[in-house]
Amino acid sequence: MISLKPKLAKLFAKNVRKSILRWSNKPLETQQKVFRKLIKDANNTMFGKDHDFKCINSYNDFVKRVPIRDYEDLKPYVDKVVAGEENILWKGKPLYFAKTSGTTSGAKYIPLTKESMPTHVEAARNAILMYIAETGKSKFVDGKMIFLQGSPILEESNGIQLGRLSGIVAHYVPKYLQKNRMPSFETNCIEDWEAKVDAIVEETLPKNMTIISGIPSWVQMYFEKIQEKTGQKVGEVFKNFNLFIFGGVNYEPYRSKFENLIGRKVDSIELYPASEGFFAFQDSQNEKGMLLQLNSGIFYEFIEANTFFDDNPKRLMISDVKVGVNYVMIISTNAGLWAYNIGDTVEFTSTKPYRVIVSGRIKHFISAFGEHVIGKEVEQSLKEAIESSLVSVSEFTVAPQINPESGLPFHEWFIEFEKEPQDILSLAERIDASLQEQNSYYYDLIAGKVLQPLKITTVRKNGFQDYMKSIGKLGGQNKIPRLSNDRKIADAIYHQKLTK
């Protein structure tokens, strides 16, 4: 019997694409509309009254009244919402709190409201529909789809449910996808990540898997277990698997490893979801970057990253950004986050339409010597260094070595290889040359004999997994920072004897 679902998916995709083009072709008008509605809807909240929202008639008024905040700054308001008070950051109470692990504030509680929640689900759906509209491929909708995610079990406090974002979103999978979705609810509820992946392998092996999605590092564990169990490439086990959906980290460092595990190339879609909002998704297989979601109840501001820690950095609207500049992204949302610094840095790859790549974290950088090295630069350097070689990398992180036993300070790269290079010193030289080419500050420090070229320390197989397990962050949305300005991770790797 011929299924109607692929045909219906194509029709649906065509209509959704038209809708997306309408707002993406009018970006400034779209953002102004979002801005006005946010201010109007939050007029009578405690935050709105404290910041005189009734007198905000323009973006300049907003900038004067609402300073940039991170979670710590917003916490006094969030604490009131957590305590069950209404009309604090947004009208009424939120439906959920996405509970995340904060570095300075312990657990962070990010509100999700009845206005914001649908945008998370809609954006993920639209990413797949835009892929169908562009490529014409839709047969995969008849197969099974998997998303490696956190537990959907939720707690409740003062009438508000709380859990991990991916677990909350699991409750919103459309009915027409429920039969296709894997793993089962019971398997998704397993807390121990390794046991969960084992159970997912058992559940999915006999199935016709067509879409697999999740953070690359954890999908990699799933693929490795499938290969161990079957002795076959993932693409042989799942012959109709042709679409990988990912978010959270850059896929490029994993690409060669994945293609080896799968045994062939598959299409991929990149997403940019966070507890604070679903910000962007890859809308084209032929264009670089992800389409910024300007019509999802989020008003965006941007600050040039190299000025962010100045006393009064200039805040920019979408109309003022330029391609190729590293910006800190600031958001105001219909979940009640106002001029909120999510900590991410982005670069625009296009302004017609507005597409971004995630370049790193404003707190994840190395500038122990004034070099201002960011995540995008280390990922690009590694990618260029291993291109056209048999070298394959499973995971890596970078830290400064300020007090070496001898010689000048240097950047220490901790790399777990799938396939090791024959000449590790030559690989280090290639990475270093690429980094010097991208970052003039780093070049000057090397040329001026302030730093010596980087050094590679090899991490044993599964060393990074063991590190994440040791700090209670194995699986889910957790990931290794690409670089740190201190040696907290580096020292733990040495202390736990994770190097070769």
> Can you give the pTM of this predicted structure?
0.80
Residue 190: per-residue pLDDT: 87
Residue 106: per-residue pLDDT: 61
Tokens linked to 46? 């405690």
The Cα 261–Cα 210 span in angstroms is: 16
Residue 1: per-residue pLDDT: 42
Residue 234 — φ and ψ, nearest 5°?
-60, -40
Q: What is the DSSP code (8-state) at residue 137?
A: -
Residue 477: per-residue pLDDT: 64
Residue 323: per-residue pLDDT: 97
pLDDT digits (tens, 9 = 90+) for 167-217: 888 778 766 666 788 888 888 888 887 888 899 999 999 999 999 998 887
* Selection from 145, 203, 188 nearest residue 5 by Cα: 145
Read out DSSP for 78-110?
Answer: HHHHHTT-SSSSSSS--SEEEEEE-SSSSEEEE
Are 200 and 147 in contact by the 8 Å Cβ rule? The answer is no
Residue 129 — φ and ψ, nearest 5°?
-65, -35
10 Å CB burial of residue 497 (0-12, 13-18, 19+) is: exposed
Neighbours of 128 (CB within 10 A): 23
pLDDT digits (tens, 9 = 90+) for 411-444: 999 999 999 999 999 999 999 999 999 888 898 8
Identify the segments of the chain with pLDDT beneath 50: 1-2, 102-105
92: left (phi > 0), else alpha (psi -120 to 50), else beta?
Answer: left
Strands 181-182 and 277-281: unpaired
